[in-house]
Amino acid sequence: MAHGPAEGITRWLYTTNHKDIGTLYLWFSFAMFLTGGFFAMVIRAELFQPGVQLVQPEFFIQMTTMHGLVMVFGAIMPAFVGLANWMIPMMIGAPDMALPRMNNLSFWILPFAFAILISTLFMEGGGPNFGWTFYAPLSTTYAPDSVNYFIFAVHIMGASSIMGSINIIATVMNMRAPGMTYMKMPLFVWTWLITAFLLVAVMPVLAGAVTMMLMDINFGTSFFNAAGGGDPVLFQHVFWFFGHPEVYIIILPAFGVVSQIIPTFSRKPLFGYSSMVYATAAIAFLSFVVWAHHMFTVGMPIAGELYFMYATMLIAVPTGVKVFNWITTMYRGAITYETPMLFCIAFVILFTFGGFTGLMLSVAAADIQYHDTYFVVAHFHYVMVAGAVFSGTAAVYYWLPKWCGRMYDETMGKLQFWLAFIAFNITFMPQHFLGLAGMPRRYADYGLQFADWNMVSSVGAFLYGGAQILFLYNVVRTIMHGEPVKEAKVWEGAEGLEWLVPTPAPYHTFTKPPVVISGAAGEDEWSISGATPHVAFKASPEAG
């Protein structure tokens, strides 16, 4: 086995190292985050004032479509896969991911998939113009030719996700150090295990959906065409059977991150560890049976409306369990407010807010009013941006010192946090009001009565974009000339195997399984927050 990283570019191209691959995922996702962010800036610039100013409606809708696709599949998902790659093997005492070559393959598919997807913008007839949910027949009968590139891009990125998640499942099930039983795993590992299961279950369904589209467009089938006996609504069912679990695929790893960070900066074990695990599993299970809450206005039998309404509301219960556990963890803790903690506290507040708007939307009768308005846009940005993106940012600040052995600039981190927090709310809070007042989503123009809040929202969006540049600057500065950190345990209150290995983490963390000692947590030992009885691990990391 090679002791250190290979020299030159092949280190990145041919790597089988989980840390290298994690780094690749993270940088790729950040690049996509900026790309998707650029599309968002185009959208908000156009919506700054009523009337059509900057871009034509045809292009505007391509921007909203691409923004959604790139952010969901290119930015958020790969970011958490990157974190999984870096952290899971370190957290469970594994030498690497279970299937390292497939790991490399999963990553390198993504640049190809997104190159194909983004190139559609420059094709004849334009790029996908049917929204990120690509409803038929907009995406079939009335779609531009480039939809075929979109379909195959989705196919290969789905293959990437499936392989990536199989790898995570195999790693967690098979590579845990002796003594690392399931109920002692850090929550980040747990949430990822369940997320990976969701991915293996629903990515193939997405593949099925785009395959049906492909056939309808090119080979004369009639899945989504009532003339032949099919139904466009069938598309929505298949899509949302994938789509709703997908939103939990996005948020569950974020829950995991928050469950790691809050105990650290509260200097208390996580409250209710096992209830967190069960709540995660319950959410995952429920996410399979609520999909049609996205379709309340499509014309379902009343029994369907009722069922999907109540089932959806049920999800608020395990979600509530999690929120209360985080709050109780902080309760009477010796809290300090470093940047990762600030992002996590904001996460808890804003995600809960988004959960409540979700609950409003789940009322079928009320949703007839809210559906396809900016209220929905506000809802899902509260859960996806203040939820997933905030927690991803928190994770980067939290683990960056461990990754590169250098400390970020705390002042700049806090500055970025406050800028992001305020700008986020300026951007999306007004969209609730716009939606309730009836402004529909996905239009380039709007009535004059919506002008003020739209301008506010656009200003917020530009500020939020600026905060990301600050983030990039802070991270790059840290890697290049941050203050060196030597302690294995970078944060005073941090617990877990990853804080026992040297800082920066060696290229190969473990060459032998770490030794497990049962007993009280002590000096060189480590206990998993909240797990009872306390079980300590003694790591015997060997660099190289």
* Residue 77 binding ligand HEM, by CB under 6 A: no
From 132, 135, 307, 507, active-site residue: 132
* Residue 306 binding another protein, by CB under 8 A: no
Query: Are 70 and 41 contacting, i.e. CB atoms less than 8 angstroms apart?
Result: no
Output DSSP code: residue 224: T
Interaction with another protein in 478-537: which residues (CB under 8 A)? Answer: 508, 510-513, 515
* Residue 244 binding Cu ion, by CB under 5 A: yes
- Phi and psi torsions of 407, nearest 5°: -95, 140
* Residue 236 binding ligand HEM, by CB under 6 A: no
* Residue 121 binding another protein, by CB under 8 A: no
Rounded Cα gap, residues 229 and 207, in angstroms = 22
* Residue 3 binding another protein, by CB under 8 A: no
Q: Which of 523, 524, 526, 478 has its CA nearest to residue 504?
A: 478
Query: Are 110 and 160 contacting, i.e. CB atoms less than 8 angstroms apart?
Result: yes
Query: Are 350 and 387 contacting, i.e. CB atoms less than 8 angstroms apart?
Result: yes
Which class for 378: exposed (0-12), middle (13-18), buried (19 or more C-beta within 10 A)? Answer: buried
Query: Does 452 participate in catalysis according to the annotation?
Result: no
Q: Which stretch binds another protein (CB under 8 A): 183-191, 220-228, 252-260, 431-439?
A: 220-228
Interaction with ligand HEM in 251-290: which residues (CB under 6 A)? Answer: 251
Q: Which stretch binds ligand HEM (CB under 6 A): 38-46, 381-389, 481-489, 527-535?
A: 381-389
Rounded Cα gap, residues 540 and 496, in angstroms = 14
**CA 236 vs CA 155, 203, 244: distances in Å:** 18, 15, 11
Query: Residue 227: helix, strand or coil by DSSP?
Result: helix
Query: Does 379 participate in catalysis according to the annotation?
Result: no
Q: Report in angstroms how near the CB of residue 376 gets to ligand HEM at its nearest.
A: 4
Residue 316 binding result from Cu ion, ligand HEM, another protein, none, given CB thresholds of 5 to 8 Å by partner type:
ligand HEM
Rg of the chain in Å (alpha carbons): 23
- With respect to ligand HEM, which residue has the nearer C-beta, 78 or 541? 78
From 19, 268, 294, 371, active-site residue: 294
Q: Report in angstroms how near the CB of residue 61 gets to Cu ion at its nearest.
A: 22
* Residue 391 binding ligand HEM, by CB under 6 A: no
| Helical pair 302-330 and 232-266, crossing angle rounded to 10 deg | 10
Query: Are 152 and 115 contacting, i.e. CB atoms less than 8 angstroms apart?
Result: no
From 23, 35, 140, 161, active-site residue: 161
Sign of the Cα pseudo-torsion (132, 69, 100, 186, in order): negative
From 244, 371, 406, 508, active-site residue: 244
- Phi and psi torsions of 206, nearest 5°: -60, -40
From 29, 120, 146, 319, active-site residue: 319
* Residue 209 binding another protein, by CB under 8 A: yes
Q: Report in angstroms how near the CB of residue 133 gets to another protein at its nearest.
A: 16
Interaction with another protein in 144-203: which residues (CB under 8 A)? Answer: 145, 148-149, 151-153, 155-156, 159, 162, 165-167, 169-171, 173-175, 178, 200-203
Residue 315 binding result from ligand HEM, Cu ion, another protein, none, given CB thresholds of 5 to 8 Å by partner type:
ligand HEM
Query: Does 489 participate in catalysis according to the annotation?
Result: no
Cβ neighbours of residue 417 closer than 8 Å, sequence gap 6 or more: 339, 342, 343, 346
* Residue 389 binding ligand HEM, by CB under 6 A: no
Tokens standing for residue 461: 């969006």
Query: Does 155 participate in catalysis according to the annotation?
Result: no
Query: What is the set of active-site residues?
Result: 67, 96, 132, 160-161, 244, 246, 248, 259, 293-294, 319, 322, 441
Interaction site with ligand HEM (CB under 6 A) = 133, 247, 250-251, 293-294, 312, 315-316, 319, 355, 358-359, 361-362, 367, 370-371, 376, 379-380, 383-384, 387-388
